[in-house]
């Protein structure tokens, strides 16, 4: 991505999201966002895109071996979960008392 302007995303760490495309697609199961990688436009979602990683023995990890870890997926492949309507929802930003708040378009509920 271009480094001239920092992109803004509606998804933050700790949000509940659903995966809308890919191998782990499930529109009814909300999952937690572990990390948002802004400069690469990717998110790390709990239990999604599991890959095997081979690790060498080191001072911290004396055994080494094969680990299963989550890999990041494109931020466009996830959508925020709306708890009130129990489904994915688009987001709009509103200003309330001088602060920007995220509001789910389906239910009109404020996303915390």
- CATH of residue 27's domain is 2.30.30.30
Domain that holds residue 28: 16-82
Domain count, the chain: 1
Residue 96 lies in a domain: no
pLDDT tens figures, 53-87: 999 999 998 999 999 999 999 999 999 999 899 99
Can you give the C-alpha Rg of the chain in angstroms? 17
Instruction: Tell me the C-alpha distance between 27 and 35, whole Å.
Output: 20
Residues 6+ apart with CB under 8 A from 84: 104, 106, 107, 109
Model pTM score: 0.82
């Amino acid at each position: 991505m271009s480094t001239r302007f920092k992109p803004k995303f509606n998804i933050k760490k700790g949000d509940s999201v659903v995966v809308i495309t890919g191998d782990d697609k499930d529109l009814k199961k909300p999952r937690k966002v572990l990390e948002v990688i802004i400069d690469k436009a990717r998110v790390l979602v709990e239990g999604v895109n599991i890959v095997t990683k081979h690790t060498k023995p080191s001072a911290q990890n004396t055994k080494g071996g094969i680990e299963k870890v989550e890999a990041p997926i494109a931020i466009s492949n996830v959508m925020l979960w709306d708890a009130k309507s129990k489904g994915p929802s688009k987001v709009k930003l509103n200003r309330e008392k001088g602060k920007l708040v995220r509001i789910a378009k389906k239910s009109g509920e404020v996303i915390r």
